[in-house]
Amino acid sequence: MQFKMLGRSGLAVSELCLGTMTFGNTTSESDSIRMIHQFREQGGNFLDTANVYVSGRSEEIVGQAIKECRSEVVLATKVRMNTANHPNGAGVSRKHIMQSVEESLARLNTDYIDLYQVHVWDHLTPIEETLRALDDLVTSGKVRYIGCSNFFAWQLMKSLACSDANRYVRFISIQPQYSLVSREMDREMMSLCLEEKVGVIPWAPLGGGFLTGRYTKEEPTTGRLTSKVGESSWALRGTERNFAILDAVHTAARELNKTPAQVALAWLLQRDGITSPIFGASTLEQFNDNMGAVGWTMPKEIWDLLDEASALPPEYPNRFIAKFARPYSSN
């Protein structure tokens, strides 16, 4: 397992991050703990959870699994979603942040969080209030670094500008949906993150399971992709374009003697700007398959074919820039 620095920080994280959203739900407690231990044995140090995953049970299991090795683990969790049935039970106001961090610390059985992330933008709370509260948590030692998730590019840039103007701590990372079948971040976010040195830790790097190769064009009756709403709905995943991308993944997998999941993850691992894809696994079999994405390099010609097959169609202003704003020639 290789390590990368997260954003412009000095925090070293493993090239894969173990996501724990299913821990305590579709993944049993015993298998969840085994996965964390095996992940660490294979060199991984980066774990991601959230205070709302399985109503907090995910945090409890993670805390139990790392209690003997806390200092060796980079622990990430999140705040924003509804955790109580009252007006201040959601969002990223100072009140909800301060309440939520104490609850997460208790469930995780630790006195600090390495990476505390805003789960989604809060339109009701000024970003200045949010960042000041997060800055106070870093000053107090309860949080080491801060990040965000599911932001628009303008929201991230506004946050960074606010931090710089007020000398608050900066977001060092963003956690967006990003995969061969979800490349919307290429429009603006990826170039912003490269420019501002913000680490990108994608969720759903296998498209909610679509890129594992288990699915055909027939609508599934079991699994995550049976959802009728949300990012893992079959209406979003089971498109002709996505199946064309999946065909390219299958072709690459056969040529490389790898599984489709390993190919899809390896493509991300070699993409400029990506720090650490967050993979989840409901079973130990899936965990072992995903871990096979590290330790080898995809040939450039195959990487390029996958990149071309999954690229977004040309859009303004990129079309305009490519045609009329080419760099000046030195000749």
Contact 153, 192 (CB under 8 A): yes
Both tokens assigned to 55 = 């109503």
Q: pLDDT per position in the chain (331 positions), as tens?
A: 999 999 999 999 999 999 999 999 999 999 999 999 999 999 999 999 999 999 999 999 999 999 999 999 999 999 999 999 999 999 999 999 999 999 999 999 999 999 999 999 999 999 999 999 999 999 999 999 999 999 999 999 999 999 999 999 999 999 999 999 999 999 999 999 999 999 999 999 999 999 998 888 888 767 778 777 788 888 899 999 999 999 999 999 999 999 999 999 999 999 999 999 999 999 999 999 999 999 999 999 999 999 999 999 999 998 898 888 766 655 5
For residue 322, give the 3-state DSSP assignment.
helix
Q: Which residues have a Cβ under 8 Å from the Cβ of 12 and sit 6 or more positions away?
A: 3, 4, 5, 6, 45, 74
Residue ranges of domains in the chain: 3-175
Give the angle subtended at the CA of 263 by the CAs of 319 and 252, to the nearest 5°.
80
Contact 103, 70 (CB under 8 A): no
For residue 82, give the 3-state DSSP assignment.
coil
Q: Which CATH superfamily is domain 3-175 in?
A: NADP-dependent oxidoreductase domain (3.20.20.100)
Q: Is 213 exposed, middle or buried (0-12, 13-18, 19+ CB in 10 A)?
A: middle
In the set 53, 116, 145, 178, the catalytic residue is 53
Q: What is the DSSP letter of 159?
A: H
Give the angle subtended at the CA of 271 by the CAs of 267 and 275, to the nearest 5°.
105
Confirm whether 53 is a catalytic residue: yes
Contact 209, 233 (CB under 8 A): no
The residue among 123, 130, 191 whose CA lies nearest residue 159 is 130
